[in-house]
Structure 1
Amino acid sequence: MSDFPWLTTLILLPILGGVALAFLPRTPASEASNQRSAELPKQVALSVSVLTLGVAVAMILQYDADGGMQFTETHEWIKAFGAHYALGVDGLGVTMVGLTTVLVPIVILASWPDADDRPTNVFFAWVLILEGLALAVFTATDVLLFYVVFEATLIPAYFLVGGFGRGKERSRAAVKFLIYMLAGGLIMLASVVGLYAVAADAGNPSYLISDLSQLSLDTWTGRWLFVGFFIAFAIKCPLFPVHTWLADTTASATPGTNVLLVCILDKIGTYGMLRFCLELFPEASEWATPLVVTLAVISIIYGALVAIGQDDMMRLIGLTSLSHFGFIVLGIFVLNSHGTAGAILYMVNHGLATTGLFLVAGYLVRRRGTASISATTGVEKAAPILAGLFLVSGLATLGLPGLSPFVSEFLVLVGSFDYGWYVGALAVTGIVLAAVYVLLMYQRTMTGPTPDDVATMPDLSIREIAAVGPVVVAMVLFGFFPQPLLDVINPVVDQTMERVGVVDPPPAVSDVPAEEAHK
């Protein structure tokens, strides 16, 4: 493995590309004379994101699934605090890097007209900067560095929602999102400072995760520090009851921004639970398991029930993610290998399925001028390709066998039943309710009589199909052949279980001889 700074390159490429875009002429495409100059920022943004994806693929091809933390870079940053510019990826980090670098070019291609009435270069500059900061979060191996970039992601996210969202409520939604995230970040900051104090008392003032994981924390110190991190990550996910920013944000943001927020940034919450809560505070994680499992199950059921009653498509899809993140958190905190593997795999597959659903719904909203489900009907006759992709993405969301989320949900449910049959039984209801909200949404919007204004609606363009097509292909591919992802994920699962100090329960095997069992 070369000494090339792969991770720094991955982080800087989109950030520098975004800064360069910001200095291009601020030309909205709504002015006919500016069409050509408005296309340039889109082309530059797409080129930078594809180049970033190429670098990520080149790095991932060199990744050794059994090699632990790789592509590490460590440089002293703030000596007085023991802080370092430290980067590295293991199986968890590399899957998140892969997901991020795949989804951003798709978002840019799908969002081509989203900024046409506003400065195009600014919109795509924020998208690229957000990608670079997200990659920094998923690769940081120093707690202080993680915290800084964790908070920095709020800047582009705020402007993408408040400056480029849809509807009159976008500013209020952006402020609500920011308040929730800042509150969680401030709570986590207290634990970040507490970790340094504990490390300094132990004679090794350091923020490196590798050093902090060796600390011997007394019971209540570990639990209080765990709570600070967990609350921030629960808000980020989101998890019931700190989820109320989600529906307003997804209802006000553009489809592409929703993909960035829900399919990439919200994964920081579950990533942090695995990377920090379980690794740094294993005893506290076991202590908190009953409460967290309860909240996860409530999220699964409550998110699905609330989604069923929504009329706004974007709000509905956002609330489905509350249910799906409940599954991910449940998989993490049942503390067995099936659940943890399913949770990490779910992080990837949720990103794929929800991206497809957000983008196709966005195409429909753009054509109809409204996100109202009740105001839309008969679309499948006018736009069969749109309806077909909408159905495939919806079926993936509800966990249809043969599409990638099914494998994830199956593993999480196996882990849940291992934890307790009642937990698994309650979690299964989330799948049943998912079928209700997905199929009802499809029936109401795609079937039925076709009004005249819908009958003349154009079907998807080649560009729009090209944006969603890779997501659908990936859902089918990993639905039938998830092993490449599991090969990367499983070593991390084993290390996490060893760190927490738990082992899988032995299989329940009957003592009755096989011959007697058949009598």
Structure 2
Amino acid sequence: MLTTLILVPFVGALLVAFLPATSARSIALGVSAGTLGLGVAAAVMFDTGDRALQLTEQVSWIESFGVHYALGVDGLGILMVLLTVVITPVVMLAGWDEGDDNPRSYYAWMLALEALSLAVFCATDVFLFYVVFEATLIPAYFLVGGFGKEGRGAAAVKFLMFQLGGGLVLLASVIGLYVVSAQAGKPSYLLTDLEQLDISTGAGRWLFLGFFVAFAVKAPLFPLHTWLADTTEKATPGVSVMLVCVLDKIGTFGMLRFCLGIFPEASQWATPVVVTLAVVSIIYGALVAIGQDDVLRLIGLTSLSHFGFITLGIFVFSTQGASGAILYMVNHGIGTAALFLVAGYLIRRRGTTLISEMGGLEKKVPVLAGLMLVAGLATLGLPGLSPFVSEFLVLLAAFDYGWWVGAFAVTGIVLAAVYILWMYQRIFTGPAHGTLDAHVFDDGHDGHDGQGAGDTATQVAARTEVIPDATHREVLAVAPLMVALVFFGFFPQPLLDLANPYAERLLQVQVGVQDDPPTVPAPQTESGE
């Protein structure tokens, strides 16, 4: 089942690459819709009551090194699979005009990225995971460098250098796992074998660092985040969605799957530093986002703050925090994807990514304004929308870990309200900004229609400019995301039914951490006892 799930978009990518360009979009969308159907079928087959890996496949690949072609999913894996197969067709439908210069290349790389991302989330052999982990960089590099605005080439190189650097550190730890498992009797890269391996304290900590650094670059986490804003600023909105909402989830996925799963002692040893970096990411990402004028760069930096919340939930070592982090991974993917895509709609209409060159659009494009508002409110964690549940669980776990951690982390919610609401205000309310359009500017304007007689031609043109609102296709594309934000905001249980068993098994069985029972102060007697 999982092999078919991976092969369908991969074969689709090959078809799109060699078939006529005129059919590239429709074929790619059809393939991604078929992959969505397979992903839903896999989820239906998944037993939420079983904590073990399911839908498993295992074939010996390189026997002398203990390498297997091994696939399987648990609650974490199936959630990431569902997120990937939902996001991909949404991005293709929403960005129907993206990649106009070379549609075959654009959609082929998009399907290849989906296939490799699914392989990452399904791999249960560390060596196989590393191979597909690195392979995701190929389509990502060409999508960033080949499509977008001026400066995308430099952004793609920066993205690649950071990711390759993290991958090389990860490779050293992957080799180290072979040595450790071979010394224990028989080399193996199977996750089930490595989870049972008795690794010495020193070796475990060094190997953990290699995995963690690679995942901190991918996630991203401060201070290894500087590629993020440049990439989202220069790439197309659709590519940014795939990078931030799907590919970057590999970082936090790996922290749960490998850092905590294989190196529980080293993960606890590193917790004070990681928690501090997570809190810094939350606050720093939000503060830097406030000062941005480029809307795509701003949305990218919000994800630095959100990934700080996810990492914090993982490393406070409670089932509540882990469940909140997993839920956050899903909800962040949904909410941020909606924000990027609606921003892309506006950019195509205004011809600019600069917030300062927008303004007063609320009455001109009320549907787009409403979509942006819902996506923005989800991003800032408004109660009733799905990200709120995730943040609430993570913050509860953070306060339980240490009051100072929760106190600093909660400021991220306040700052989120600032950067989201201020962005909305500058784009949709206030005076209109724009350039003179001879078709709409009336040279004989006399100010009797409510506009000032002394207004400049540019100001009048901006106010009278006709901008088309969201089309039926654009609304249809983001509608599933909007429905999910509201539905899971009021009823998150379907997601928690998948996340909770995995979190409980990981923390209680693998890490050996038991949640402290809730305590209620005993009533005092008259004697004060």
Distance, in Å, in 2 between the alignment partners of 1:453 and 1:440 is 21
Matched, 1:370 2:352: yes
Please, what is the CA RMSD of the aligned residues?
Answer: 1.0
Aligned equivalent of 1:96? 80
Conserved? CA contact 1:329–1:343, under 8 Å: yes
Deviation at 1:453, TM superposition (A): 4.1
Amino acid at match of 2:137: L
Letter in 2 for 1:419: Y
The aligned residue for residue 197 of structure 1 is 179
Task: Report Cα offsets for 1:334-392 as digits up to 9, x if no partner.
Answer: 00011100000000000000000000001101111110011100111100000000000
C-alpha distance in 2 between matches for 1:280 and 1:165: 39
How many Å apart are 1:165 and its aligned residue? 1.8
Show the 5 A alignment for 1:196-345: 196-345=178-327
Aligned partners of 1:381 and 1:450 also within 8 Å: no
Q: In structure 1, the residue corresponding to 2:355 is in which secondary structure? A: coil
- Residue 450 of structure 1: CA displacement? 3.2
Identity of matched residues, %: 65
Equivalent-residue separation in structure 2 for 1:192 and 1:443 (angstroms): 48
Q: Is the 8 A contact 1:403 1:478 kept in 2?
A: yes
Q: 2:96 aligns with which of 97, 102, 112?
A: 112
Q: Deviations over 1:462-505 (max 9, x none)?
A: 11001111100000000000001101111001111121111112
SS at match of 2:155: helix
Structure 1, gaps ≥5 residues long: 1-5, 28-36
Q: In structure 2, how many angstroms separate the alpha carbons of the residues matched to 1:490 and 1:170?
A: 40
2:138 paired with 1:155: yes
- Quick one: which of 471, 478, 482 aligns to 2:481? 471
Report the AA paired with residue 469 of structure 2. Answer: D
Whether 1:55 aligns to 2:50 is: no
Aligned amino acid, residue 19 of structure 1: L
Q: 1:43 aligns with which of 26, 46, 68?
A: 26
The SS at the match of 1:407 is: helix
Name the residue aligned to 1:400. Answer: 382
- Cα distance in 2 for partners of 1:501, 1:62 equals 29
* 2:401 maps to 1:419: yes
CA distance in 1, matches of 2:500, 2:361: 42
- Quote the Cα distance in structure 2 between the aligned partners of 1:213 and 1:352: 31
Distance in 1, Cα, partners of 2:70 & 2:462 = 56
Structure 2 residue runs without a partner (length 5+): 434-460
Distance 1:240 1:512 in 2: 45
Question: Is 1:145 aligned to 2:156, yes or no?
Answer: no
Measured against aligned partners, the alpha-carbon deviations of 1:176-197 in whole angstroms (never above 9, x if no partner) come to 0000000000000000000000
Q: CA offsets per residue over residues 130-156 of structure 1, 9 Å max, x none?
A: 000000000000000000000000000
Letter in 1 for 2:326: I
What are the Cα deviations for residues 30-76 of structure 1, in whole angstroms up to 9, with x where unaligned?
A: xxxxxxx2xx1110000000000001111111110122210000001
Specify the alignment match of 1:18 in structure 2. 13
CA distance in structure 2 between the partners assigned to 1:74 and 1:453 by the alignment: 62
SS of aligned partner of 2:363: helix
- The range that moved more, 447-456 or 129-138, is 447-456
Does the CA contact (< 8 Å) of 1:418 and 1:505 recur in 2?
Answer: no
Relative to structure 2, which stretch is displaced further, 451-460 or 402-411? Answer: 451-460
2:359 is the alignment partner of 1:359: no
Which of 153, 156, 180 aligns to 1:171? It is 153
1:493 has 2:503 as partner? yes
Which residue of 2 is the match for residue 462 of structure 1?
Answer: 472
What is the correspondence of 1:497-512 to structure 2 with a 5 Å cutoff?
497-498=507-508, 499-512=510-523
Alignment partner of 1:133 is 2:119: no
Match of 2:60 in 1: 76
Paired residue type of 1:179 = M
TM-score normalized with structure 2 length? 0.93
Q: Return structure 1 stretches of 4+ with deviation > 4 angstroms.
A: none
Distance 2:38 2:222 in 1: 37
Query: What one-letter code is carried by the residue in structure 2 that aligns with 1:193?
Result: I
Specify the alignment match of 2:4 in structure 1.
9
Q: Mark the structure with the bigger radius of gyration.
A: 2
For 2:3 and 2:354, the matched residues in 1 are separated by 43
Show the counterpart of 1:34.
none
Q: One-letter code of the match for 2:515?
A: D
- What is the deviation of 1:506? 2.4
Deviation at 1:119, TM superposition (A): 1.2
* Cα separation, 1, equivalents of 2:95 and 2:139: 16
Alpha-carbon distance in structure 1 between the residues aligned to 2:151 and 2:381? 32
Q: Is the 8 A contact 1:199 1:206 kept in 2?
A: yes
Question: How far is the alpha carbon of 1:262 from its aligned partner?
Answer: 0.1
Amino acid at match of 1:125: A
